[in-house]
Amino acid sequence: MMRVFLRLGEGTLNLLETIGAFSIFSMQTIKWIFATPFDFRSLLSQLNEVGVKSIPVGVVSSFFVGMVMGLQFGGPLEKYMEGITSFLGGGISLAMVRELAPVLTSILLAGRVGSAMAAEVGTMKVTEQIDALTTLATNPIHYLSVPRFLAAIMTIPMVVTLAILVGTFGGAIISLLMFNIPLNQYLESAQSYVDLTDLLSGISKSIFFGAEISLMATFMGFRATGGAKGVGNATVSAVVNSIMMIIVSDYFISYLFQLAGL
């Protein structure tokens, strides 16, 4: 029984220590954003890695999610109430804008972008390149974390916006082919249910999710130890923790947005 309590206590202390270290790391990253000189070349490189190369992942997955939603919602609903599929555009669009596109796209990018960031920074850590930066009077957080953080919060919302458009288009295709809903009727239904506040809510969520992905990935990379195995463990931890943070924070962000009227 004592061993059980000891393990619970150790686990709790380790969790609190990690949360505290992550909070300090996040605040330091935000503080170093405004420091000079700023490495714009590194930022441009990260914009390409995080944003441009992530477009296929977000677009393809969102397109098929929209199609699946149209297929799964339209058939069963039409059985219970004839003609209800005329509202399919509004239902699919609202779900894509508020939840599916921001959350699913961010989760996919946590796997693609987060793992790459954690592996790259973790490799630099175990090969002592980060120690070399410190020796050369270069702050590692300013050099490594800040460009990745800025690239994530700038480009992930753009990828999510594309995912919203493509997912809505995917739902329109299924609505037309399976339920004979004209495109103009689909778009009218979408416009009647989705307004600017819904779009702002979804895109704003993706900014928070992008920050969580980049901060967690670089944080775990900085904590990597033990060679290749340590880099692998840091990469797995970064992806898992990022996905958990996205799912958990989605509820609290949604609740705060509702209080604010978004």
Mean pLDDT computed over 74-102: 74
Q: What is the pTM of this model?
A: 0.86
C-alpha to C-alpha distances, 191 to 40, 120, 185, 205, nearest whole angstrom: 39, 43, 10, 21
Please name the residues in contact with 92: beta carbons below 8 A apart, sequence gap of 6 or more. 66, 69, 70, 73, 167, 168, 171, 175, 190
pLDDT, position 185: 82
Mean pLDDT computed over 3-14: 76
pLDDT, position 143: 85
Mean pLDDT computed over 129-136: 81
pLDDT, position 85: 63
The winner for highest mean pLDDT among 6-20, 87-101, 145-159 is 145-159
DSSP 38: -
Cβ atoms of 38 and 141 within 8 Å: the answer is no
Mean pLDDT computed over 149-170: 90
1 CB burial (10 A radius; 0-12, 13-18, 19+): exposed
